[in-house]
Amino acid sequence: MTDSHHTGSDRSERPHNSGGVRARTVTICAFAVMLVTGLVLAVACGDPSGGGSGSGAQHGESSTKPRAKSEPKRIWDRSPDSLAAVGDSITRGFDACSVFADCTEVSWATGSEAGVDSLARRLLDDPKSKSWNYAVSGAVIADLPQQMRKAAAVDPDMVTVMSGANDACRPTVGQMTPVEEFRSSFREALRVLRTEQPGTQVYVSSVPDLKRLWQQGKKSAIGQRVWSLGICQSMLKDPGAKDPASQERRQSVYDRVVAYNSVLKQECAKDLRCRYDNGAVFQYRFTGKELSNWDWFHPSRAGQRSLAELAHRQIVARRPAG
């Protein structure tokens, strides 16, 4: 290019050589056409170095970004054919029919009594032979893996879980199950089920609001006398006391239940066949009529029916409550 430029200049110094002028003019015009053409092509193709359009630049950037991984699809059958229940005294119908005794026929999960209309009756064609209750009164979350192993042995389509109230209902606040121990036990229970029955669904109920139960039951003088026998002292001790220490004690139990429910929600979310009730039981406003006439703490028949309704509504929903 450098040599050609000097040659063109020598020829232009000859005043009567019009052919040289024309040649230089043609060369400059040709170069201008090439430059303009290049710019037009750059704009049309969206070349960022040639001032490409915004949309063209965005396409270029997006093509280099890795595609976001789609979340695994959750699996949920709203019409199971069989059901097993694990948990504690609430699922056993404790104190719903007689004093200090289980009454599984009114259990919210597997009961046979028409008035309660349990989850098994609402969901199953043959609730009598296709539902099993492995809950144990007084059980804590550490007992759940063994209960889950028994449930897995019958190969149910669904297992219901309601556990944790007894972990907060201890003689003292200091004896409540630590949150991470609670997590470890629940995680182990799910692992046991997944190892033995990978396809079984799990429905997890939240732990009830024990403070709400105290607020309702304390209205009964008989209930207060029964509580003095030793029921859930972390919450129910001195039920009428309003001093700061008593209020702090009850709030500590409340906070621990909230933490337990957070664990249930978090761990259930990791399992594609698990559905948590998103706090439905915890948020439910139990009335005095829905509490046992013997201890004013456990659900009565009416309370068991309410639990069955809450669970059924969550299980048959197309999407989990959010």
What is the tens place of the pLDDT at every residue in 82-134? 999 999 999 999 999 999 999 999 999 999 999 999 999 999 999 999 999 99
Q: Is residue 160 part of a domain?
A: yes
> Which residues form the domain of 203?
83-316
Q: Above 70 in pLDDT, residue 177?
A: yes
- Strands 158-162 and 201-204, how do they pair? parallel
Residue 72 banded pLDDT, cuts 50, 70, 90: confident
Task: Verify that 140 and 34 share a domain, yes or no.
Answer: no
Q: Is residue 29 part of a domain?
A: yes
Task: Verify that 31 and 131 share a domain, yes or no.
Answer: no
Task: Verify that 25 and 144 share a domain, yes or no.
Answer: no
Q: Is residue 7 part of a domain?
A: yes
Task: Verify that 154 and 99 share a domain, yes or no.
Answer: yes
What is the model's pTM? 0.78
Q: In percent, how much of the chain has pLDDT > 70? A: 78
Q: Is residue 78 part of a domain?
A: no
What is the tens place of the pLDDT at every residue in 15-41? 344 444 444 444 433 443 343 344 333
Q: Is residue 65 part of a domain?
A: no
Q: Above 50 in pLDDT, residue 8?
A: no
Q: Is residue 284 part of a domain?
A: yes
Rg from Cα positions in the chain? 36
Considering the chain, what is the average pLDDT of its residues? 84
Q: What is the pLDDT of residue 209?
A: 98
As beta bridge partners, residue 62 has none
Q: Is residue 244 part of a domain?
A: yes
Task: Verify that 237 and 112 share a domain, yes or no.
Answer: yes
Task: Verify that 246 and 302 share a domain, yes or no.
Answer: yes
Q: Which amino acid is at 192?
A: V
Task: Verify that 181 and 244 share a domain, yes or no.
Answer: yes
Task: Verify that 52 and 161 share a domain, yes or no.
Answer: no
Question: Domain total for the chain?
Answer: 2
Distance from C-alpha of 176 to C-alpha of 256, rounded to nearest angstrom? 8
Q: Is residue 76 part of a domain?
A: no
Task: Verify that 232 and 107 share a domain, yes or no.
Answer: yes
Per-residue pLDDT averaged across 144-151, rounded?
Answer: 98
The residue ranking higher by pLDDT, 82 or 220, is: 82
Task: Verify that 131 and 267 share a domain, yes or no.
Answer: yes
Q: What is the pLDDT of residue 50?
A: 38
Q: What is the pLDDT of residue 65?
A: 59
Q: Which residues are CB-neighbours of 17 under 8 A, at least 6 positions away?
A: 11
- Side-chain-side CA neighbours of 29 within 13 Å: the count stands at 6
Distance from C-alpha of 179 to C-alpha of 189, rounded to nearest angstrom? 15
Helices (H) and strands (E) in the chain, counts: 13, 5
